[in-house]
Every structure is written in C-alpha cells, then in structure tokens.
A and B are shown apart, each in its own frame.
Chain A
Amino acid sequence: MKENPRSINRLAAPIKGLAQRFAFMALVLTAFALMLWGKVDVATMERARTQVTDAVAPILDVISRPIDSIDLAINRAHDIYAVHEQNVQLRKDRDRLLHWQAAARRLEAENKVLRSLLNFVPGAEANFITGRVIADTGGAFIHSVILNAGARAGVRKGQAAVTGDGLVGRVAGVGTGSARVLLITDLNSRIPILVGPERTRAIMAGDNSERTKLIHLPSGATVEEGDRVVTSGHGGAFPVGLPVGVVVSVDDKGISVQPLVNRNRLEYVRVLDYGLRGIIQVPPKGTDTVEKDAAAAPAAVGAQQ
C-alpha cells in the first residue's frame, strides 16, 4: 500500500468523483420525493415532523429561557421609563372600565334571571393548558410557534390557543412534550368568525402577512372599519366568541383585519380545552359566557351613545 499510493489515487479519484456526483443527485431526488410524499401522505409526514420537534423541544426550551429573561428585563426598564404615562392611561382606563363593570353587573343579573326563566343548561367549562413559546418558526413562509406543552399536558390537535388579548391560532400538531400552533396569520389558516354588531358570518383567512382577510361573506352583508371579529364556533373545535381582531380597512381589495394578538409579544399561550372534538357542537356556555356577554355589552352600550 505504501509503495505506490499514487496509482491507487489515480484509480480512486474518478470513481470517488462519480460516486459523489451520484450521491448528490440521489439526495436532490430524495428531497424532491419527500416534497411530493408530504403532499400525498400528510399524516405520516406530520407525525415525523412532530417527533423530531419533540426531540428538539428541550433544547429550544433551554436556550429560549435566557432570551425571555433579557426580554423581561428590557420590558421592565421600559416600564420604569414610561411609568408616568402608563399611570395616566391606566387611570383613564380604570374610569372607563368601571362604567363597563356596572353594565356587566347589570347584564349578569339580567342574564341569570333569563336563564332561570329558560331553564338554560350551561355547557362545558374550559380547561386551560398554559405553554411557553419556545420557537417562533418559519420566517416569511410559515407563521407558527412551538409550545413546550404537549399531549402529556392534555393538548390536543385542533384546540384554540389564546392569550389575554385574543385568539393566537390553532394547535396543528402535538407531540408528547411539544405542540405546534398555526397562527391565524398563516397562509393555511381558515377560521369561521362573526363580524360586527350584526354578527355576520364569514371566514377569516391568513396570507402570511401581518393582517388577515375576511372571505365568504354573505351577499349584502355590511362590514365597517372598527368592527370586532370573534370566533363563531362553526365547524366544531373552536368555542364561540373568542376575540380575534378588529376590521381596519374595507376596500376593493377586500376586508382587512388586524389581529389583537401581536406575534412578537407571544411568550405564554393558553390552550383551551372545551372537550369539543369537532363533531358534536356544544356551544360553550357557563361562567365564561357571562364574561363574554359583559364584554359585548359595553360595545352595545357604546353604540347607543
């Protein structure tokens, strides 16, 4: 072997080059085949994706913590800086909310009486599963986040993910310890909603931009700027009345909605478990409804003024 390494090289080099080229082409073809396979067999591909995500989730969980801490520190510094302004704003908000609270109390009492009149049976109450956002994925192409809570914590596919502001998205894939939430702004997101005081039915579709569009409105429906958009609960899975966004523009290009939830501020997300499975539609009523009616009522009060 040691005597003439050159002759071996002379023989091996072209073969090696050929093998490398062949391997390269094989990889390209494999990538292409995977693309097509993902289109045909969505379930298998999603399972594989979930398993890999599950395996990487602990790493993401650990390295996203310091970032969250830094973010928290920055926010805190900002809060101190803006404390005076915030105080003024909060006082204003407090006055306004007291007015709303009065309206809500009155409606709650009225609601209670009407319910007893109708022998109303409250539906299931929601359970919350709170998860931390450990990855904000996809860049310009996919709008989704990964949570560090999965099937072990009770997260199921199709459940609604919310923050205090409103709807974030839908659980699209669940692993044992992680879940992928497809945001409402994603290209593939289609959510049945109700818009405006008329509660017009429509579908809200994402297109990977910051805002979403309303489609499939019934003919003759009027939607105005400033109308609130809430989930309709049609099609199961999602509870009715979750706040989603506000209509910001109505023109020839369509109806544009600004979601209430800011993707960049997502840190903790609650996944709602109403026990809905998308087949039997149980409108979620109960304690939650009181809050929702209360939230809707001042809007009506405001409209009258």
Chain B
Amino acid sequence: MKRGFWNRLDILTRQSTPFLLTLALVIINQLPLHIPGFSQVMPLLPLMAIYHWAMFRPELMPAHAVFIVGLMQDVLSGTPVGINALVYLAVYGTVLSQERFFSGKSFVVVWLGFGLIAAAATVAVWALVSAWYAAIVAPQAVIFQYLLTIGFFPVVVWVFLRWQRGVLGSV
C-alpha cells in the first residue's frame, strides 16, 4: 500500500512537470539578461512550450494549465491581463485540431508549423495590445522577437524531447 502511494506520487510529480516547466519558462522569460537589445526581443519561451506539449503530450498540458500559464505571462510581463491567456489557448486549440496532420511528421514540418502558428500568435498579441491601448505598438521589435523565437525553437524542443524520454518515458 505504502509503495503504491509513493509510486503514484512519483507518477503525479512526473506528470505535472510539463506544466511546471512551462511556468518556469514564463519566469525565465522575465529575467534581466543585460544583453544589449535582448530584453525587447526575448524569445517567447512559453509559446514554444505550449506548442510542444500540445503536440506531444496534450493530456499532461490541459487547457486550464495553458490558461494559467497565459495569465502568469500577462501578470508578470505587464501586458493587459487576458491577452496572452487568450492567444495561448488559441495556439493550443489550433495544435490539437491539427493533431492528425502533425502526427509522424518530421521535425522540419513541426518547425514550419511552429513558424506559422507563432506568426499568427505574434500578430494576434500585437493587434490585441494595440487595440487595448488604442495605439500602434512599434512593430520592429515584435518582428525581431518573432524571428528569435523561431530560431530558438529547436534548442528548447531538444531539451523538451530529452525531458520526455528521461522523465516522462514511463508515465
């Protein structure tokens, strides 16, 4: 009985790691890195995480977890509350609806898919923030942020895939 409890706790802990990792990325996203020009164009790490987990382990990243991640991103980064939550949910929903298309596809296709979805998400956040403030946000930094996000995607995914094999392999 005792072993069963610990076993279950172990599985639960492992299962919650995708969500906790994503939440950690939200916090990491806010760190001051002191690299010239980088803080404006910091790649959107949580977006990559949501895309990845929605594609590979959606059962470990339910919609309400995505919602919480989005809210945290909004609250910490200072964007109007709800905008990132809405966009992350949209990304999550889109990936889930394209599950059949993505299943078994090569990494390049997954990467291209991310490129498209991240572009849509970036435009959506830009439009929503601009509408919320009723002022046009300067788009240059947004475009650079998007490009960096695409560029960093393989690195983050590599870490996630390792994690999937190492920690989530058995659950």
Instruction: Answer yes or no: do A and B interact.
Output: yes
User: A residues within 8 Å of B by Cβ?
Assistant: 20, 23-24, 27-28, 30-39, 45, 48-49, 52-53, 56, 59-60, 63-64, 67-68, 71, 133-146, 180, 187-188, 207-210, 262-267
Q: State whether A264 touches B34 (Cβ < 8 A).
A: yes
User: B residues within 8 Å of A by Cβ?
Assistant: 27-42, 44, 63-64, 66-67, 70-72, 75-83, 85-86, 89-90, 93, 125-126, 128-129, 132-133, 135, 137-138, 140-142, 144-145
Some 12 contacts from A to B, beta carbons below 8 A apart, are: A30-B85, A31-B83, A35-B128, A35-B132, A49-B75, A52-B72, A52-B76, A136-B30, A139-B44, A140-B141, A140-B142, A141-B142
Picked from B70, B71, B79, the residue with its CB within 8 Å of the CB of A138 is B79
Picked from B64, B76, B137, the residue with its CB within 8 Å of the CB of A135 is B76
Q: State whether B27 touches A134 (Cβ < 8 A).
A: no
Name the CB-closest residue of A to B86.
Answer: A31
In the bound assembly, the distance between CA atoms of A209 and B31 in angstroms comes to 20
Chain B residues contacting A146 (CB-CB under 8 Å) are 30, 76
Chain A residues contacting B29 (CB-CB under 8 Å) are 139
Q: State whether A140 touches B80 (Cβ < 8 A).
A: no
Chain A residues contacting B85 (CB-CB under 8 Å) are 27, 30-31, 34
Q: State whether B44 touches A35 (Cβ < 8 A).
A: no
Chain A residues contacting B71 (CB-CB under 8 Å) are 31, 34
Q: State whether B82 touches A33 (Cβ < 8 A).
A: yes
Q: State whether B78 touches A67 (Cβ < 8 A).
A: no
Q: State whether B31 touches A135 (Cβ < 8 A).
A: yes
Q: State whether A134 touches B32 (Cβ < 8 A).
A: yes
In the bound assembly, the distance between CA atoms of A188 and B67 in angstroms comes to 26
Chain A residues contacting B144 (CB-CB under 8 Å) are 140
Picked from A39, A64, A180, the residue with its CB within 8 Å of the CB of B32 is A64
Picked from B41, B78, B82, B90, the residue with its CB within 8 Å of the CB of A142 is B78
Q: State whether B141 touches A208 (Cβ < 8 A).
A: yes
Q: State whether B81 touches A49 (Cβ < 8 A).
A: yes
Q: State whether B93 touches A136 (Cβ < 8 A).
A: no
Q: State whether B79 touches A142 (Cβ < 8 A).
A: yes
Name the CB-closest residue of A to B80.
Answer: A38
Q: State whether B141 touches A209 (Cβ < 8 A).
A: yes
User: Known interface pairs A24-B93, A31-B85. Does A141 touch B77 (Cβ–Cβ under 8 Å)?
Assistant: yes
Chain A residues contacting B79 (CB-CB under 8 Å) are 138, 141-142
Picked from A27, A37, A267, the residue with its CB within 8 Å of the CB of B64 is A27
Chain A residues contacting B83 (CB-CB under 8 Å) are 31, 35
Q: Sorted from nearest, which 8 A-B pairs have the closest CB atoms? A: A34-B82, A35-B82, A136-B32, A140-B141, A31-B86, A135-B30, A31-B85, A142-B78
Nearest-neighbour CB distance to chain B for A126, whole angstroms, equals 25
Q: State whether B80 touches A187 (Cβ < 8 A).
A: no
Chain A residues contacting B82 (CB-CB under 8 Å) are 30-38
Picked from A134, A187, A266, the residue with its CB within 8 Å of the CB of B135 is A187
Q: State whether B31 touches A60 (Cβ < 8 A).
A: yes
User: Known interface pairs A35-B86, A64-B31, A67-B33. Does A141 touch B39 (Cβ–Cβ under 8 Å)?
Assistant: no
In the bound assembly, the distance between CA atoms of A263 and B41 in angstroms comes to 13
Chain B residues contacting A207 (CB-CB under 8 Å) are 135, 137-138
Name the CB-closest residue of B to A173.
Answer: B78
User: Known interface pairs A23-B63, A28-B86, A264-B36. Does A140 touch B30 (Cβ–Cβ under 8 Å)?
Assistant: no
Q: State whether B89 touches A31 (Cβ < 8 A).
A: yes
Chain B residues contacting A31 (CB-CB under 8 Å) are 67, 70-71, 82-83, 85-86, 89
Q: State whether A27 touches B89 (Cβ < 8 A).
A: yes
Nearest-neighbour CB distance to chain B for A221, whole angstroms, equals 24
Taking each of A59, A135, A262, which has the highest tally of chain B beta carbons within 10 Å of its own beta carbon?
A135
Q: State whether B145 touches A139 (Cβ < 8 A).
A: yes
Taking each of B37, B126, B138, which has the highest tally of chain A beta carbons within 10 Å of its own beta carbon?
B138
Chain B residues contacting A138 (CB-CB under 8 Å) are 77-79
In the bound assembly, the distance between CA atoms of A135 and B77 in angstroms comes to 9
Chain B residues contacting A48 (CB-CB under 8 Å) are 75, 81
Chain A residues contacting B129 (CB-CB under 8 Å) are 141
Q: State whether B75 touches A142 (Cβ < 8 A).
A: no
Picked from B34, B41, B63, B72, the residue with its CB within 8 Å of the CB of A140 is B41
Q: State whether B76 touches A137 (Cβ < 8 A).
A: yes
Picked from B42, B77, B138, the residue with its CB within 8 Å of the CB of A209 is B138
User: Known interface pairs A137-B30, A209-B140. Does A28 touch B89 (Cβ–Cβ under 8 Å)?
Assistant: yes
